[in-house]
Structure formats: structure tokens, C-alpha cells
Amino acid sequence: MSRHQGLRHHDRHLTRVTRRALIAGASAALVASSRARAATVTDGAGRSVPVPARVDRVFPAGPPAAIMLYTLAPDLLLGWPRANRADEREFLLPDVGARPEVGRITGRGNTANLEEVLALKPDLILDIGTINPTFVSLADRVQEQTGIPYALLDGRFDGVAQAYRVMGELVGRRDASDTLARYAEDTVKTISGRIAALPRERRARVYYARGPRGLETGLGGSINVETIELLAQNVAGGTRGGLATVSIEQVLVWNPDVIVTIDRDFAASVIEDRAWAPVAAVRARRVHLSPKLPFGWVDFPPSVNRLIGLWWLAKILYPDLFPEDLRTLTRDFYGRFYHVTPNDAQIERVLAGRD
């Protein structure tokens, strides 16, 4: 890092032209297959974003962007929206996982100060998430105020591959981004292909439980249940929206076959809870606690961390259709995306959904 910074600092004294030439030469040498880099790329919102001449430091606008950038180019990540806990760092590159907390600049929940952001001297600001006029105007505004290119990319499953390719273009890592994009495409295609053979009524009916009492759930089309809705019927999908509270009565009426939860307390207590006892999923002991290290497998942050969750959930719902070994898949995914090789004990711990 420090060598990089020194080099950068030195750069500033060079004239613009020589600097460009130098960088063009350097990047051509570094990335052998590199073609000439375009002047601008079109981001997920259709905005035209200038490609920085050289990218050493990238500021992630929120958790999804931090995770996706980490998977592609951990060395470029300036910091995390929230500092990682020790149990999360265990599954990340030690020096990158420990990088500082820099806040977030997505939406209303701004915790990063724009002057702070500028002081970090990013070459690019990367934002991944919902694309709507609010976030587009936020991106335009920040880009205008800071003069730093601000790319807004789509974090949904059908946008991930494209997001990787745009990111690769922006940071000059086309080959690596293409590999990850292909993995994402293949995963979604393989899994949805096998499920497409099942008639709709034979797909599992799943209730997604959040909160210590399991009564918060994701409605139809919510980013929180994208993983579930790709594979199964979301019992709460009849109403469209985001997160909402429901009553146990309503869950009894839905009578889901499977319950997926991210809450450990709920997962532990629901089996003993007499009020939940008549639910088919509870009777059949099909209540599953989502793994969450280093990042959640089914829900949040809504980024590429959910790709391995697709395999996990597909195997839970349709064991016959998905004979692959989850441990092998997990080790492969963690190697490709998180740049670590967890041992057997670590994988068991992840799969158990423990902290």
C-alpha cells in the first residue's frame, strides 16, 4: 500500500500527458490482455461514467459495492462501510478485511462525510444496489460535487454479470471480472434451469422469517427474498412490497413447507414453540438457519455473497435435483470470491450459521 501511495504522490508532479502515457504503458505491461480502454462506460443506470485513467483507490458507497469490489479487486478497496468483526475477517484476506470503516453514501443513511471521502482521494466511487431516480440523482450529485467518477450498478441476480463487466472495465481488470461474471451467470442459469423442469405447484412453499420472533418477512419482489423467489414460492409473495410484519395466524394459514430464517434465536426456539407447532415446516423440522459468514447467504447485503446461498437453498429445497457437495461448492466459492481457502472445521461453522 505505502509503495503505491508514494508512487501516486510522485505522479502528481508529472505533466498530464506524460502521466497518461506512463500509465497506459504500465497498465499494458501489467495486464497483458488489456485492450485499449474506452473513455467512458455506461453504468447500470444508463449513465455515462468516465473511465479513470488509472484506478488505485475505490470508495464503496455501501456494503454491496464493498463486497463486490472485494471479490474482484481487493487491493483497490479503500475501506468498509462498517468495520468487519473478527468472525467475519476470518473469511477475508487479513490485510483487506481489517481495512478501516469509511461510512456509506447511499441514500438517506449517509454516514460518510463527502470531505472525508475526498480526503481518501478515491479514483472512483462504486455504488451497487437498487436503480431508481433517487439513487441516480444522488450519483449525479456526488459525481458533480467531488469530480470523482461515480458508477451505479445493479445488484440483482440478473444484473450481477453485467455489473462485474462494467466494474472490470472501470478498474481495468477485464479478465478477472469476466471470470466472476461467468460464474454468476452459470450459477443462476444452472440452478434455474434445473428448477424450470418442476411445475410451479411442485415448487416448495417457503416462508422467510426475520426478527427474534420470526414475524418479519419479505413481500413479493423485495430484494430480501430474491434468493427465495428465484427457487421457490414465497408464501408472502402475494402482496408486493419490501419488509413487513405478519401474524402467526397468517403463517398458519400459509402453512409453508419450509422456513428459512436469518435469526438464530428464532431458529432455536421455533421448534419448541407450541404456537408454531401446527406449521408444516415446523412439524417436518424444515426450519433452516442461513449461513452468514463473512456475509449473509440469502438476504443482506444484497450482493454477490448470495450466489453461494442459491446453491445452499437449492440443495435444501430439492436435494434430488442438486446432488453436488455443498462443502466443495463452498470451498470453491470462497476461493474464487473471497480469496481464502477455509478448512473443514471453518466450513462446518459457516454452514451451521454460527457467529
Partner 1 sequence: MTRSASPGLLVAIAALALGLVVAFTVGRFPITTVDLFDVLWSRAVGRASSASPAAENVILLVRGPRVVAALLVGAALAVAGTAFQGLFRNPLVSPDILGASAGAALGAVLGIFFSLGVIGIESLAFIGGLLAVVAVYVIGSLLQSRDPILVLVLTGVVIGSLLGAGVGLVKYLADPYNQLPAMTFWLLGSLAATTASDLLPLLGPVAVGSAVLIALRWRMNVMSLPEEEARALGLATGPLRIAIVAAATLVTSASVATSGIIAWVGLVVPHLARALVGPDFPRLLPTSAILGGSYLLFIDTVARTAAPIEIPLGILTAVIGTPFFIWLLARMQRTWS
Closest-CA residue to 216 (of 256, 259, 247, 255): 247
Contact pick of 68, 219, 232, 350 for partner 1 (by CB under 8 A): 219
Q: What value, to the nearest 5°, has the Cα angle with vertex 35 and ends 40 and 44?
A: 35
Q: Which is nearer to partner 1, 71 or 224 (CB)?
A: 224
Contact pick of 250, 327, 332, 347 for partner 1 (by CB under 8 A): 250
Contact between 13 and 23 under an 8 Å Cβ cutoff? The reply is no
Tell whether residue 272 is a contact of partner 1 (CB under 8 A). no
Contact between 149 and 51 under an 8 Å Cβ cutoff? The reply is yes
Q: Which is nearer to partner 1, 177 or 290 (CB)?
A: 290
Region near partner 1 per CB under 8 A, out of 118-126, 244-252, 321-329, 343-351: 244-252
Contact pick of 265, 271, 321, 354 for partner 1 (by CB under 8 A): 265
Q: How many CB atoms lie within 10 A of CB 137?
A: 10
Tell whether residue 240 is a contact of partner 1 (CB under 8 A). no
Using CB under 8 A as the binding criterion, the count of chain residues that bind partner 1 stands at 37
Tell whether residue 267 is a contact of partner 1 (CB under 8 A). no
Tell whether residue 353 is a contact of partner 1 (CB under 8 A). no
Region near partner 1 per CB under 8 A, out of 8-16, 39-47, 247-255, 323-331: 247-255
The 8-class DSSP code of residue 81 comes to S
Report the C-alpha gap between 96 and 83 in whole angstroms: 11
Task: Return contacts of 242-248, CB within 8 angstroms, 24+ apart.
Answer: 242/218, 243/210, 243/216, 243/217, 243/218, 243/219, 244/216, 244/217, 244/219, 245/215, 245/216, 245/217, 246/215, 246/216, 246/217, 247/215, 248/215, 248/275, 248/276
The 8-class DSSP code of residue 220 comes to B
Tell whether residue 220 is a contact of partner 1 (CB under 8 A). no
Closest approach, Cβ 322 to partner 1, in A, equals: 27
Contact between 100 and 81 under an 8 Å Cβ cutoff? The reply is no
Residue 21, strand partner residues: none
The set of cell numbers assigned to 147 is 469530480
Closest approach, Cβ 250 to partner 1, in A, equals: 4
Closest approach, Cβ 283 to partner 1, in A, equals: 11
Q: Which H, E and C letters describe 222-243, residue by residue? A: CHHHHHHHHHCEEHHHHCECCE
Tell whether residue 239 is a contact of partner 1 (CB under 8 A). yes
In the shown chain, the binding pattern of residues 54 to 73 toward partner 1, with x for contact by CB under 8 A and - for none, equals ---------x----------
Q: Where are the beta strands (DSSP E) in the chain?
A: 40-42, 48-50, 58-60, 124-129, 150-154, 205-209, 216-218, 233-234, 243-245, 258-261, 287-289
Region near partner 1 per CB under 8 A, out of 30-38, 141-149, 170-178, 235-243: 235-243
Region near partner 1 per CB under 8 A, out of 26-34, 187-195, 232-240, 317-325: 232-240
Region near partner 1 per CB under 8 A, out of 37-45, 71-79, 88-96, 204-212: 204-212
Contact pick of 300, 327, 336, 351 for partner 1 (by CB under 8 A): 300
Report the C-alpha gap between 93 and 84 in whole angstroms: 12
Tell whether residue 83 is a contact of partner 1 (CB under 8 A). no
310: exposed, middle or buried (C-beta count within 10 Å: 0-12, 13-18, 19+)? Answer: buried
The 8-class DSSP code of residue 290 comes to P
Tell whether residue 244 is a contact of partner 1 (CB under 8 A). yes
Tell whether residue 243 is a contact of partner 1 (CB under 8 A). yes
Closest approach, Cβ 150 to partner 1, in A, equals: 19
Closest approach, Cβ 252 to partner 1, in A, equals: 5
Return residues touching partner 1 (CB under 8 A). Answer: 63, 82, 109, 111, 210-213, 215-216, 219, 236, 238-239, 241-250, 252-253, 262, 265, 273-275, 277-278, 299-302
